[in-house]
Amino acid sequence: MAAVAVRIDLDKRQVACSVHDLLPDVLRGGLGAPGEGLTRLSVGAELHRIVQGQRQEEDPRYTSEVAVDATLTIDGWGLRVLGRADGITRGPDGRHIVEEIKTLHFRSELHHPFARERLERYRWQARLYAYCLFPSGEASARLLLVDLGGQDHRVEDVAWSPGEVTAYLRARLHALVAAERTREATRARWRAAAEELPFPFDSPRPVQDEAMAAVADTLESGRHLLLAAPTGVGKTAAALYPAVKLALATGRRVAMLTAKTLQQALAVQTLQGMQRGGWSSIQIRAKAKMCANREVVCHEEFCLHARDYGSKLAERGVLPALLSAGPHLDPDRIYAVAHAAEVCPFEVSLELLDETSAVVCDYNYVFDPTIALFGLAEEGSLENTFLIVDEAHNLVDRAREYYSPRLSRATVRDARRLVEGHRHRVCRELNTLLGDLDRFITGRVSDALGSREGSQRATLEPQPLSEYRIGLDALVAPYFTFKRDAELWLARDPVLDVLLSLARVTDLLEDGGRELVPLAERTSAEPEAEALRIFCLDASRFTGSVLARSAGCVAMSATLEPFEFYRDLLGFAEDRTDTISLPSPFPRENRLIVAVDEVDTTFRARPRWYGRIAELVGELAPADRNALVLFPSYAFLQEVASRLAAPGHRIEVQRGDDSDRLRNEMLARLRGNHEPVLLLGVLGGVFAEGVDYPGEMLSEVMVVSPGLPQVGPERELLRRYFDDRYERGFEYAYLIPGMTRVVQAAGRLIRSSEDRGVIALVCKRFLAEPYVSLLPADWTASDPASLRREDPAAAVRAFFLALDLES
């Protein structure tokens, strides 16, 4: 049974919690001990189910997954305990026996320094289930320990009595109540802060007031909001201010989620502008960037900051030092303090989450199932969290990626190369198992594709992969022991990569949802170019379950229309979701939008028009000013670039393999006062999204073609699925994603009230349905024909001439 959040009503003297919440605390040792975490991520749950099945086969009296819902009275307090016991049976004398199953690596975990505390925690879990189900003591309790690394198991009878458990519960109950009274004092301080919370800037903008009112109304009623607002509205402050105010007033938390780290700076600045009254915020930085070790190897045997983590954290006062230093917990400061105390900076960041009222982090920490295990999405924690999803249009594809794991021969072969040169027994066993897995992948790919290259739906059953998964996990603990003895540590271990890929692929195969399609892939004739993959067509079921657990969500973007597309594909419940679309706050005369409909850029027609498109780019390029020209693909870009002549401009061309250094050099040339730049890039690329071009850095954006995704096997799977489920196949698979890229790219141009510029749309489709209806309403003013100019180049020259005369 999923854990429930602890609920304590001090006035009514009532407590509701899970059995897990009542277990004794265990001081954490080091990080990354053999078996720690891997069981949860891998086969622990699978083996748990297998053992329950075996118990039912061998014992007809055995009942698995027995619900527990007990209400007890202790010292005038009502204590409701919820949970689910692994199983119940009867002994030869007819007496009930309550069983608790635990899977662990015997060779490592039973002899770990903290094994005694861990086993005692397991025993108390068995005692509590027995007491809740049989409070008079008419049942026995039993632990069944199952070895993840072999076939061994151990049975331990757990002694208990009602008096002993009642005394234990009394102590745990009063500890929970004392902690709640401390939290209530904190909440009182937060409520006072909410009353006097300052707006983070001088004053709200007129459109901002409307947005803030919508956010406040939505979150106060526990609903969701899709907020479409163009650049300049001030979406970040408009969402954060009412959300933080409500969170402080009600003892909740705000999580500001972004697609890119660069977007987090404004959120942090906005939060800092509101911080009065003793509430804290934190920015979570990616684990790799917070690592204080020379390599990202989270294991106590290799990393000083993982060794004795729990004891060092407590003894060296890391958390109090950080919490007393200022209201915002900056990752640089967290890193410095944790590094000095020789504890893991990233783990310290996660420890601090419970002390904060606002969190700024990547989407991953809430929506990615492989990362959210350690963050905000733990069961019970989201119901008191308001989510704000920035640039929410990005989450559709990102969420699909979370549920599209790949198991490749390349990774399997990397793992084999790592172990095959060693004579140790575990390496020989790993090499054999990985070899079998490699042949399994080859067989399934050949069955689906024959000798062809490409991607094809595959017949893939979970059982064979589950067996490989169990076999591989059984070798993980001895493999860690081997690595420790051989001092073989890697920042990225391919053996673990295979294990985690197997776990994700198997889990999703067992899920069996029709939106999860198994694929066989072959990208070239090379053996390592083969893979098995789950392709997630629609992640709305998964993201929707996260949203449903939250206290409320605001998803915002300049490109969040049509609303039904994002509501459907992100899983927002229709009866719990409001929408609002706000106008641009900037004067219309600050920009000129022209549509050039004399050319056809459809895939089949475009080769006939490459020359004319190149001429149009040269004609529309503004004299003595920088311009950005965006194409749907590198191939299209190159065809036009090879024909392009733009006297007076330096032509720069984005390439798929450009390094960060080359990209930064291009941006530096746009900032310079030298020769004007005509930068050719691709829609959806680094220059089209996520980069601001302030002031004179950019004066024109030309978008050549609506930028629909390329037709291919996977995109066609999406089209057929969306057609079947929503009856909007072409629209959801091609049209809206393509036009979203166009509007996002054009939004790079006008970012402030001082910015002026031209948006040029080059293709006849921009003025035809269904494309024209997806252009922002304030672009067309209900008259799409107004974007057509008899002489577009002359209109552009006249616009910039008027600007020059003004200045």
Shortest CA distance to 542 belongs to which of 387, 404, 740?
A: 404
pLDDT at 659: 63
Task: Indicate whether 374 pLDDT > 60.
Answer: no
H helices within 221-263, ranges in order?
235-250
Query: By CB neighbour count within 10 A (0-12 exposed, 13-18 middle, 19+ buried), where does 710 fall?
Result: exposed
pLDDT at 24: 87
Task: Indicate whether 219 pLDDT > 80.
Answer: yes
Q: What is the pTM of this model?
A: 0.86
pLDDT at 107: 61
Task: Indicate whether 655 pLDDT > 90.
Answer: no
pLDDT at 657: 66
Q: Which pLDDT band, with edges at 50, 70 and 90, does 245 fall under?
A: very high
Mean pLDDT of 737-743: 94
Peptide bond into 770 cis (omega under 30): yes
Task: Indicate whether 242 pLDDT > 50.
Answer: yes
Instruction: Write out the two tokens for 320.
Output: 């109090």
CB of 254 within 8 A of CB of 240? yes
Task: Indicate whether 775 pLDDT > 90.
Answer: yes
Task: Indicate whether 378 pLDDT > 70.
Answer: no
Most trustworthy range by pLDDT among 199-208, 293-302, 309-318, 554-563? 554-563
pLDDT at 694: 76
More confident residue, 293 or 562: 562
Q: How far is residue 148 CA from its own chain's centroid?
A: 29
Helix (H, G, I), strand (E, B) or coil at 569: helix
The rounded percent of the chain whose pLDDT value lies above 90 is 68
Q: Which residues pair with 253 in a beta bridge?
A: 385
Shortest CA distance to 799 belongs to which of 746, 747, 760, 751?
A: 760
Peptide bond into 632 cis (omega under 30): no
Residue 90 dihedral angles phi and psi, to the nearest 5°: -130, 145
Residue 132 dihedral angles phi and psi, to the nearest 5°: -65, -35
Q: DSSP assignment of 431-488, as one string?
A: HHHHHHHHHHHHHHHHHHHTT--EEEE----HHHHHHHHHHHHHTHHHHHHHHHHHT-
Helix (H, G, I), strand (E, B) or coil at 533: strand
pLDDT at 1: 36
Query: By CB neighbour count within 10 A (0-12 exposed, 13-18 middle, 19+ buried), where does 578 fall?
Result: middle
pLDDT at 332: 95
H helices within 572-680, ranges in order?
610-620, 634-641, 660-671
Q: Report the DSSP pairing between strands 77-90 and 96-104.
A: antiparallel
Shortest CA distance to 21 belongs to which of 38, 4, 41?
A: 4
Residue 42 dihedral angles phi and psi, to the nearest 5°: -120, -110
Shortest CA distance to 789 belongs to which of 609, 619, 636, 588?
A: 619
Helix (H, G, I), strand (E, B) or coil at 37: coil
Peptide bond into 405 cis (omega under 30): no
Helix (H, G, I), strand (E, B) or coil at 278: coil
| Segment among 270-274, 289-293, 355-359, 565-569 with least mean pLDDT | 289-293
More confident residue, 90 or 116: 90
Residue 334 dihedral angles phi and psi, to the nearest 5°: -60, -45
Residue 459 dihedral angles phi and psi, to the nearest 5°: -90, 115
Instruction: Write out the two tokens for 180.
Output: 């709640």
Interval 60-86: pLDDT, tens: 899 999 999 999 999 999 999 999 999
Q: Which pLDDT band, with edges at 50, 70 and 90, does 116 fall under?
A: confident
CB of 453 within 8 A of CB of 523? yes
Q: Report the DSSP pairing between strands 253-258 and 358-362.
A: parallel
- Distance from C-alpha of 523 to C-alpha of 533, rounded to nearest angstrom: 13
- Distance from C-alpha of 66 to C-alpha of 86, rounded to nearest angstrom: 7
Residues 772-793 as b or e (16 or more Cβ within 10 Å = b): bebbbeebbeeebeebebeebb
Shortest CA distance to 634 belongs to which of 657, 616, 607?
A: 657
Q: Report the DSSP pairing between strands 591-596 and 757-762.
A: parallel
Residue 616 gets the label, from left (phi > 0), alpha (psi -120 to 50) or beta, of alpha
Q: Report the DSSP pairing between strands 153-158 and 253-258.
A: unpaired
H helices within 196-261, ranges in order?
206-220, 235-250
| Segment among 416-420, 684-688, 771-775 with least mean pLDDT | 684-688
- Distance from C-alpha of 585 to C-alpha of 216, rounded to nearest angstrom: 21
Query: By CB neighbour count within 10 A (0-12 exposed, 13-18 middle, 19+ buried), where does 102 fall?
Result: buried
pLDDT at 376: 59
- Torsion from C-alpha of 516, 520, 521, 522, nearest 10 degrees: 180
Mean pLDDT of 637-644: 96
- Distance from C-alpha of 460 to C-alpha of 518, rounded to nearest angstrom: 7
Interval 17-57: pLDDT, tens: 999 999 987 655 555 544 444 433 444 565 667 778 888 88
CA angle (361 as vertex; 357, 367 as ends), nearest 5: 105
- Distance from C-alpha of 7 to C-alpha of 592, rounded to nearest angstrom: 57
- Report the chain's mean pLDDT, rounded to a whole number: 89
- Distance from C-alpha of 503 to C-alpha of 509, rounded to nearest angstrom: 10
More confident residue, 103 or 566: 566
| Residues constituting the chain | 807
Instruction: Write out the two tokens for 714.
Output: 């996977």
Token look-up 């008259």 returns: 783
Token look-up 């005509």 returns: 678
pLDDT at 206: 79
Q: Which pLDDT band, with edges at 50, 70 and 90, does 488 fall under?
A: confident
- Torsion from C-alpha of 423, 425, 428, 433, nearest 10 degrees: -160
Interval 171-190: pLDDT, tens: 999 999 999 999 899 999 99
- Distance from C-alpha of 494 to C-alpha of 305, rounded to nearest angstrom: 23
Task: Indicate whether 279 pLDDT > 80.
Answer: yes
- Distance from C-alpha of 432 to C-alpha of 565, rounded to nearest angstrom: 48
pLDDT at 596: 96
Most trustworthy range by pLDDT among 271-285, 367-381, 643-657, 663-677? 271-285
Q: DSSP assignment of 543-559, as one string?
A: HHHHHHHSSEEEEEES-
CB of 201 within 8 A of CB of 540? no
Interval 101-111: pLDDT, tens: 987 766 656 65
Mean pLDDT of 475-504: 83
Mean pLDDT of 625-654: 94
Q: Which pLDDT band, with edges at 50, 70 and 90, does 803 fall under?
A: confident
Interval 135-176: pLDDT, tens: 999 999 999 988 765 567 889 999 999 999 999 999 999 999
Residue 681 dihedral angles phi and psi, to the nearest 5°: -140, -170
